[in-house]
Amino acid sequence: MNGAVLVCGFATRHVAKSAHAAGYTVYAVDHFCDQDLSWYTADRERFDDLADIPRAIEEICSRHEVEWLVPTSGAEMLPARVPVLGTSPARAARFMDKLLTQEFFESLSIPAPSILEPGLYPAMIKPRVGSGGWRNRVVHNDGELASWLGEFGDQPFLSQEVVAGVAASVCCVADGIGGARAIAANRQILREEEGLHYGFSGSVTPLEHPGVTRMMETAERIAAESGCSGTIGIDFVLGDEPWAIEVNPRFQATLDTVEAATGQNLFSLHARACRGEIPSRRPFQSGYAARRILFADRDIVVKHDLSSLSPAVADIPWPGTFFEEGQAVVSVYGWGRSVGDAMDLLDTHMKRVRQYMG
């Protein structure tokens, strides 16, 4: 099914790279338009706000013939005149709403944190719509809830039971008609040290945990019943049992470590799943891979060209790019034959990038 695809969303480099490696002509609509996005795409259009995505898509389509639209984060429910290669906007809308997702889990009798009545604490507070986890917070009383509302505005939110365990996810592919296969289980690295305790900051693939097999089986059931097509990610808290948290009806930020650990091209698996072709078995895990996002610890301007550090880095900013404190600057990687080797190399690369940036 090789052809021309337009990958659109807040960050698209990981998907564009996979599609390019799969032999597609790739165009992108992206908020960052980092340096390495240009390595994998024939043309790009940058946008500032998510509301500007339709305009940017029209700009690309006015210049090129595009066969398929591939949404990533921020573009899941976007109507477009280009056919979607993946989950339809109408189907995706069900899982972008966390309350509807909760009802979906309950309809399948899949363990998920319970919705709490007002005034019950501790409670996990999260916006009803949104991704990335950076606004999620555990509150212990009415005052802390009021503080959260003051910081993030008066918006619909969920108050859930707090469950203990490892932040995890499973990458699956689904055919939209009841077939699904788990591709890899991941440990999610969260932004605990920056105070954004549940903000996504990276991943390690595969996850080592005695409950992984059961979690992957649960993820396959969720993916099969979801009606989604192509790649789909299910977030869990993996404790004594796997607690289902969210469904991401699109490519996930774990794509890089999934591909590195399995040797699979996820975009090819995605396209085949959209045609109804599901792998007969889960892929062999050939190694371990880790990714960590480096965030600015102060307002900075990246003066150096970090492209010479590839493949230890990705999402490479152009020299001269300004970042406010707390913004994501670059992704850093480690890999190896054990999880310890991968994390050690990741740490080495993180130190090198920091030294390089001064």
The string of pLDDT tens digits covering residues 129-187 is 877 677 889 999 999 999 999 988 878 999 999 999 999 999 999 999 999 999 999 99
The answer as to CATH 1.20.120.450 being correct for domain 4-85 is no
Whole-angstrom Cα distance, residue 319 to residue 313? 15
User: Is pLDDT larger for residue 305 or for residue 356?
Assistant: 305
Q: What is the pLDDT of residue 197?
A: 67
User: What digits encode the pLDDT tens for the residues 233-254?
Assistant: 999 999 999 999 999 999 999 9
Res. 65: pLDDT tops 80: yes
Whole-angstrom Cα distance, residue 227 to residue 220? 12
Res. 195: pLDDT tops 70: no
pLDDT level of residue 1 (50, 70, 90 thresholds): low
Q: Do the bridges between strand 166-175 and strand 229-238 make them parallel or antiparallel, or are there none, so unpaired?
A: antiparallel
pLDDT level of residue 191 (50, 70, 90 thresholds): confident
The arithmetic mean of pLDDT across residues 103-120, rounded, is 96
Strand, helix or coil at 281?
coil
pLDDT level of residue 196 (50, 70, 90 thresholds): low
Mean pLDDT of the chain: 94
Residue 311 preceded by cis peptide, ω within 30: yes
Share above pLDDT 90 across residues of the chain, in percent, rounded to a whole number? 89
Q: Is the dihedral of CA 7, 327, 161, 183 positive or negative?
A: positive
The arithmetic mean of pLDDT across residues 259-274, rounded, is 98
Res. 193: pLDDT tops 60: no
In this structure, what token pair is assigned to residue 260?
């590195």
Res. 52: pLDDT tops 80: yes
- Residue 326's nearest CA partner among 198, 203, 191 is 191
- Residue 321's nearest CA partner among 306, 309, 332, 333 is 306
Q: What is the pLDDT of residue 114?
A: 96
Give the start-to-end residue ranges of the domains of the chain: 4-85, 106-160, 288-358
Q: Is the CB of residue 37 less than 8 Å from the CB of residue 28?
A: yes
Share above pLDDT 70 across residues of the chain, in percent, rounded to a whole number? 97
The arithmetic mean of pLDDT across residues 259-276, rounded, is 98
User: Is pLDDT larger for residue 105 or for residue 130?
Assistant: 105
Backbone conformation region of residue 270, classed left if phi is above 0, alpha if psi is from -120 to 50, else beta: alpha
Task: Name 248's bridge partners.
Answer: 233
Rounded (10°) angle between helices 98-107 and 89-96: 90
Q: What is the pLDDT of residue 155?
A: 84
Res. 330: pLDDT tops 90: yes
In this structure, what token pair is assigned to residue 196?
């954004």
Q: What is the pLDDT of residue 54?
A: 94
Q: Residue 246: CB partners within 8 Å, gap ≥ 6?
A: 95, 98, 101, 234, 235
Q: Which numeric CATH code is attached to 288-358?
A: 3.90.1170
